[in-house]
Amino acid sequence: MEGYQVYQTPLSSRYASKEMSHLFSPANRFYTWRVLWLNLAIAEKQLGLPIPDEAVKQMKDNLQLDAEQFDIAAQEEKKRRHDVMAHVHTFGKVAPAAAGIIHLGATSCYVTDNADLIFLRQGLTYLIRSLAVLISRLSAFASQYRALPTLGFTHFQPAQLTTVGKRATLWIQELLWDLRNLERARDDIGFRGVKGTTGTQASFLALFDGDHEKVEELDRLVTKLCGFEYAYPVTSQTYSRKIDIDVLAPLASLGATAHKIATDLRLLANLKEIEEPFESTQIGSSAMAYKRNPMRSERVCSLARHLMVLHQNALMTSSVQWFERTLDDSANRRISLPEAFLTADIVLSTLQNISEGLVVYPNVIARRISQELPFMATENIIMAIVKQGGDRQEAHEKIRVLSHEAALQVKQLGLENDLIERVKKDPYFDPIKDELDALLDPNSFIGRAPEQVDVFLRDWVVPSLDKDELSEAIDKSAKVELSV
């Protein structure tokens, strides 16, 4: 038994947009319909229906549509007001021996819904591969800057130090969860199978003269021929639109992750600590020639918002499917499903582009730390005085007064933070003045951040990417990068 499965040749993630665009193109959609009709005929013939060998051969030889066939289909659809029947007619024109058995016993949703499930599964595969490449790129960045101290922010106010690499692991961890969610959604997708007009398989039961076992075997054969492990046990005319919810939910969640990452990068660009790639001839503003706008990150945020709200379409469509189906799902899904995948695809490719060219400015980062670290070091200074025999309350009061004086210099006069100079000038702190440089070393404020990066990459990232399809995608992307 030889079936025809719809399969797209994997390309480097750099070309994923072309790949995803082709997946949801009319050419691929109608090619897939023909594959489904062919596999149905193969299975029906195997189970005893009188389908000529020549009919199967002509169908196999004419799976791709040329321009003339597209024109014929368009004319037929205009006349019949039914896209599936227009393509049944068009297929029969180039496979005349099969004209009488194409779509035998099937309903329109046999091709439309099964094709959609094929596209959803393949689309998730493309996204999973692209996401793996992005995680790999950001992991290399995190490893490179695992120990570079940087000012942490809570409420976007200066907080305890972290490292540039540790901050990147926060992004990667969420992307790993997205990878898990996409893989779960893909691996859970089944096939609608051969179910008939309202899901009862009545037409196929009639074709096989009431033989229930043959109808069940037909469902199994076509499902296997199309490359699926299982078919949904029961359907209405369509597969349940709840499947669309389950697929678009992880895409929306990925959108939230992407928006957070891109927003962090936009804020860091404002701080001049980290910037996205900026071409030598790129223009940031038509009026302000000095500007280096984070336009890639802004694009990610813009598209991510769109991706997040598309999930609402699936929720609402699923909730209003009356009884065995209504047709108000069709126009919505023809827009929302491709848009969700195309949007997720370009979000990932843009983030990958950003991750491959991030520019870090260590001196700017160090300067910001020097402006805030004296205040953060006050507790260390107090503890050092106490170790030398000083009184904690007295030391606290001394530091409190000097801190407020230094804060006045910064906030009211716009000057640099001179707290340490004030400490050095105060005789009270003479016992620890030799320790001040060590007490102000940024590396003493980052805790286990570098070690956390190492453990996270080793124990979580590497195992998650240690799969053949992901390793292959990462390797191919790296080869393309080297060739550019």
- Torsions phi, psi of 28, nearest 5? -75, -35
Does residue 22 have an active-site annotation?
no
CA-CA distance, 273 to 279, in Å (whole number)?
18
Distances (CA, A) of 470 to 12, 14, 130, 463: 12, 15, 9, 11
Does residue 240 have an active-site annotation?
no
* Cα 281 to chain centroid, rounded: 30
Is residue 149 within 8 Å of 442, Cβ to Cβ? Answer: yes
**66 three-state secondary structure:** coil
User: What tokens does 276 get?
Assistant: 């996205």
**In 244-262, which positions are buried (b, 16+ CB within 10 angstroms) versus exposed (e)?**
bbbbbebbbbbbebbbebb
Nearest to 403, CA basis, from 387, 432, 381, 386: 381
Helix ranges restricted to H, 326-429: 330-355, 362-376, 378-387, 392-411, 419-425
Helix ranges restricted to H, 212-329: 212-225, 242-271, 295-319
Is residue 251 within 8 Å of 270, Cβ to Cβ? Answer: no
Is residue 294 within 8 Å of 266, Cβ to Cβ? Answer: yes
Fill in the amino acid letter for 172.
I
H or E, element range at 150: strand 149-154
Q: Is 402 exposed, middle or buried (0-12, 13-18, 19+ CB in 10 A)?
A: buried
Nearest to 446, CA basis, from 48, 148, 54: 148
Torsion of CA 325, 331, 336, 337, to 10 degrees: 60
User: What tokens does 372 get?
Assistant: 């805030």
Please identify which of the residues 155, 280, 286, 483 carries the catalytic annotation: 155
CA-CA distance, 50 to 46, in Å (whole number)?
9
Please identify which of the residues 25, 285, 302, 319 carries the catalytic annotation: 285
Is residue 343 within 8 Å of 306, Cβ to Cβ? Answer: yes
Q: Which residue has the tokens 């205009």?
A: 78
Is residue 168 within 8 Å of 138, Cβ to Cβ? Answer: yes
Q: What is the secondary structure of 190-229 as a DSSP string?
A: -B--S--SSSS-HHHHHHTTT-HHHHHHHHHHHHHHTT-S
Fill in the amino acid letter for 322.
W
Catalytic site positions:
155, 285
